[in-house]
Amino acid sequence: MLNSNSQTLSILALHGPNLNLLGQREPGIYGSLTLPEINRLLEEEGVKLQAKLFPVQSNHEGVLVDTIHGALGKHQGILINAGAYTHTSVALRDAIAAVNLPTVEVHLSNIYRREDFRHHSYIAPVAIGQISGFGVQSYLLGLQALVDYLRVTN
Ligand code: DQA
């Protein structure tokens, strides 16, 4: 990677509501890949970056909060597509702030080109950064950026 730090990183890939329906859900907006296919591509990218991915999907806000809490001491970083909770959930934002793990926010679609209610993210202020609008590439770029950040800062 970028420096001498060559330990294998552990990354939580957290997928929020309705992302279990990717592939069949509004493919014109979200593309045709299923969530298992996206997780597979993330895993392959992780191999190149020496990072092990732990994917979790839930439609339930509390489960997502619990999963973020559980990342403490287990994972070094979080890659998150919070789906619609991006725009509504103070609880998810607070959970990320509470565990204080480096987090990258990703979206398949460009949330700023869509409805006004999607323009605000509660996650963005507690994330290292956000990648939005590149389909599955948003996830892969997000993973690269997260690993890069962890290698440089650790
Ligand atoms: C999304 C964008 C959100 O606005 C939406 O609610 C989703 C998916 C995306 O990946 O483009 O569920 O996070």
pLDDT in tens, 52-99: 999 999 999 999 999 999 999 999 999 999 999 999 999 999 999 999
Q: Identify whether 150 is part of a domain.
A: no
Q: Identify whether 3 is part of a domain.
A: no
Return the bridge partners of 106, or none. 131
Helices 35-49, 136-153: inter-axial angle, 10-degree rounding: 30
Query: Does the beta carbon of 130 sit less than 6 angstroms from any atom of ligand 1?
Result: no
Q: Identify whether 123 is part of a domain.
A: yes
| Helix, strand, coil percentages, rounded to 5, for the chain | 50, 20, 35
Query: Counting beta carbons within 10 angstroms of the beta carbon of residue 10, is it exposed (0 to 12), middle (13 to 18) or buried (19 or more)?
Result: middle
Q: Identify whether 47 is part of a domain.
A: yes
Model-level pTM? 0.95
* CATH number (domain holding residue 20): 3.40.50.9100
Q: Identify whether 129 is part of a domain.
A: yes
Considering only CA atoms, which of 112, 95, 76 is closest in space to residue 16?
95
> Which tens digits make up the pLDDT trace of 117-152?
999 999 999 999 999 999 999 999 999 999 999 999
Q: How many domains does the chain have?
A: 1
Q: Which domain holds residue 140?
A: 9-145
Q: Identify whether 121 is part of a domain.
A: yes
Going by CA atoms, what residue is nearest to atom 6 of ligand 1? 84
Q: Sign of torsion, CA 97 98 102 105?
A: negative
Q: Identify whether 154 is part of a domain.
A: no
Query: Does the beta carbon of 75 sit less than 6 angstroms from any atom of ligand 1?
Result: no
Q: Identify whether 152 is part of a domain.
A: no
Mean per-residue pLDDT for 16-38?
97
**Residue of 25, 38, 107 with the most ligand 1 atoms within 8 Å of its CB, for mutation:** 107
